[in-house]
A and B are shown apart, each in its own frame.
Chain A
Amino acid sequence: MTIKSLVKKLSLPFYLTKRIGFSKKKYWAIRAGGIVLAFLAAGIVCTCLKPGSFGEFYVQMFMGCFDPTDITIFVDLLVRFSILLLISVILIPPFKMRFWNIGAEGQILVGGLVAGGIAKFAPASLPNIVVLLICLAGAMLASTIWSLIPTIFKAFFNTNETLFTLMMNYIASTLSLMMIYIWVPTGSQNFGALTHGIFPTILGNPGTLAVAFTAVIFAGMYLYITKGKHGYEVTVLGESVDTARYIGINVKKVTIRTMATSGALFGVVGFFIVCAVNQSFSATIVGGQGFTGVLIAWLGHFNPLEVALFAFLSSVMTQGTSRVHMPSSAQFSAICTGVFFFIIIACEFFSSYKISWRHNEKKEASV
């Protein structure tokens, strides 16, 4: 056996090359195809689990998100979308500088814990708006501290931030359980309905005002990321630490400043979740959205508008599938969301790599 035939035998029938200068049209065509495929796949999953429910699934899913007869369902979707969007957008700056912060869950939870604690114990004589402002300040401070702990170790000792922030999530969750144990004498797993320091209920949902504030924060983050000097510094740092140093960027300072900013904003998210959306506090109140935000920020290529699109699609997927009539709808929703993200991730591959078949190459060579 000659070496040539051996190589031929061992090599795959195709090889990969990185795509450079990929046209925007093609890129979006692949993405759109992926999104359609992901929604189709959810329907197929549903049909597999409950035969003959393919058409029914889409009807129930649509009604679970956009029911024209009941505005509160759409408001629910908007509130869900706003929280997810905020989390994903706030994660963009750290990810852009390649700081793999997967501790959003814990950073939000700590902010929510402080906001909830203040709202619970605030004297009833204080006006609601004052309590809300104190809650907000407390939540921002707590979340900033929580996100700065791993950051300082990363900046000074290069400690692995992925694992550190992951641990901080569990500490935050246990801390929340402990504070609930201390503060709630009945042994209940949550604070009970807060009566003070809460947002008003508009259109049947206490989170409606938070949606409005989210729009403002999103606009601010968009400008911060795409137009400001800070956003530029973060981008350079992510591309190459050495380049950043050569052009006079203080790496430690930028790392700490970026994480402090995103920490403070996570405090705002925690404040919204506790004082607006749930008007209560429990250790599971973030419910994995911190992790979903990581997926969305990455799948949106750190571009705020693309992130908004994926946050919306993901919210539709989660809310829609959780309202389809299935025996255990929470698990069914998790399956559909998982399949949805997997298909989008797979699309990522087709838009960043090109597959070339070897037999085509041979033909080209002979011509």
Chain B
Amino acid sequence: MNYVVSFLAMAIKFATVFLFGATGEIINQKSGHLNMGTPGIMYFGALGGTIGERIYLDTVAAGQPLNPFLIFLVPTLFAILFGAIGGFVFSFFTVTLHCNQNVTGLTLTTLLVGISCFFISAINKEGMSDAGLLLQNAWPGYKAAGWFGEIFLSQSYFTYFGVIVAVGAACVISFTRVGLNLRAVGENASSADSAGIPVQKYRYIATIIGGAIAGIGGAFYELDNAMGMSFEAADGIDAFGWLALCIVIFSLWKPAIAIGASFLFACLSIAPDFFAPYLGAAGFVTYILKMAPYVATIVVLTVVSIVDKKQQAPANLGVPYFREDR
């Protein structure tokens, strides 16, 4: 029982990283822009988060207690800023300069992973592991609620914020005029343009907001899971970014489904490490579990393309829009 509880609690924590990345990327892709820079942007957000935490820790006088909410808030604001910068660079190149999205995204990932690794390793990490532990104190008395508390109330502010952002994004995309316009831009940019929707503006804003949200995911991983201790531990943030891209497809471009999908992918990601000690000779099974998220994504992608062509990606995904081309 204890084992299941700690597994689920850990999975939810891990899912938060995916959820931010996937929600950001869904907003991005709904505007018709496939941003393969997301893994890099998540890493860049981690750099922003680390800088933010350093600044906060430096302002607190020695011996003074740290405020868990501020440990969440200050790095998050920095991560949003850094993620937004990453998103802006991507949209400047793809929207204004009409560059190929795949090429720009891959380059952005190379550049941002390089920059983030370089600077994160240079930042003084003193006090960050204590701050990382404090992050989980969103509900200090969670142990009183038994297994429910252990699983759902032991999480950090980031997790609750992530769910709020995903639900908010789902509502905006499905139920508001802005969301309708955004979908129109992603499905058919020239029709949207004729209907008077400012295509470029929508694409810019969607990419910047998407980048900002993805950046928070990277910061959360760096500050909580890796506890800000070593940058080697955070080496895999770009790998989570690619998994976030899988989740976008897996959840059929719907942020609400992405919440469940993130949890599922998180379970599959942490299961190998949880089960490894019990497998013995069958240790290769852990690799099959690691493969599962990608295979599942491919299955969803192909089944959707065979069964219902309309449910696939936004129709204009990856297509640059230049008015003169019409």
Residues of A within 8 A of B (CB): 16-18, 49, 100, 102, 153, 157-160, 162-164, 166-168, 170-171, 174-175, 177-178, 181-182, 288, 291-292, 294-295, 298-299, 327-328, 331-335, 337-339, 341-342, 345-346, 348-349, 352-353
Contact = CB atoms under 8 A, between A and B. Distances in A.
Interface string B282-326: 011001101100110110011001100100110000100010110
Contact of B305 (A157, A177, A332, A348): A157
Interface residues of B, number: 47
Given A162-B318, A338-B114, A345 B104 contact: yes
B100 to A, nearest CB: 6
A259 B242 CA distance: 24
A331 B99 contact: no
B111 A18 contact: no
Task: Give me the 10 closest cross-chain CB pairs, A-B, nearest first.
Answer: A338-B111, A334-B114, A178-B287, A349-B97, A335-B114, A159-B305, A331-B118, A341-B107, A331-B117, A338-B110
Given A158-B309, A171-B291, 18 more contacts: A157-B306, A159-B302, A162-B34, A163-B301, A167-B297, A167-B298, A171-B294, A174-B291, A294-B106, A331-B117, A334-B113, A335-B115, A337-B110, A338-B107, A338-B111, A339-B111, A348-B97, A348-B99
Interface of B: 34, 93, 97-100, 102-104, 106-108, 110-115, 117-118, 121-122, 242, 245-246, 249, 283-284, 287-288, 290-291, 294-295, 297-298, 301-302, 305-306, 309, 312-313, 318, 322, 324-325
Contact of A164 (B103, B107, B301): B301
26 contacts: A16-B324, A18-B325, A153-B302, A157-B306, A159-B305, A159-B306, A160-B312, A163-B313, A164-B298, A164-B301, A166-B245, A167-B295, A167-B301, A168-B298, A175-B291, A177-B290, A181-B284, A291-B110, A292-B110, A295-B107, A299-B103, A334-B111, A338-B111, A341-B110, A345-B93, A345-B97
Contacts of B93: 342, 345-346
A18 B102 contact: no
A170 B114 contact: no
A342 B114 contact: no
Contact of A345 (B99, B113, B288, B297): B99
Contacts of B242: 166, 170
A160 B34 CA distance: 12
Contacts of B324: 16-18
A16 B313 CA distance: 29
- For the residues of A in contact with B, the DSSP-based class is helix
Given A18-B324, A162-B318, A341-B107, A335 B284 contact: no
Contacts of A174: 287, 290-291, 294
A174 B284 CA distance: 10
B297 to A, nearest CB: 5
A170 B294 contact: yes
A291 B108 CA distance: 12
Nearest to B288: A178
Contacts of B297: 163, 167
Given A153-B302, A158-B305, A345-B93, A100 B110 contact: no
B90 to A, nearest CB: 11
Contacts of A335: 111, 114-115, 118
A337 B110 CA distance: 8
Contacts of A100: 102, 318
B322 to A, nearest CB: 7
Nearest to B307: A157
Contact of A162 (B98, B102, B115, B284): B102
User: Which residue among B103, B108, B287 has the maximum number of chain A CB atoms within 10 Å of its CB?
Assistant: B103
Contact of A332 (B114, B291, B298): B114
B103 A294 contact: yes
A166 to B, nearest CB: 7
B305 A345 contact: no
A167 to B, nearest CB: 5
Contacts of A334: 110-111, 113-114, 117
A352 B306 CA distance: 37
A345 B106 CA distance: 12
B102 A294 contact: yes
B276 to A, nearest CB: 11
Nearest to B116: A331
Nearest to B96: A349
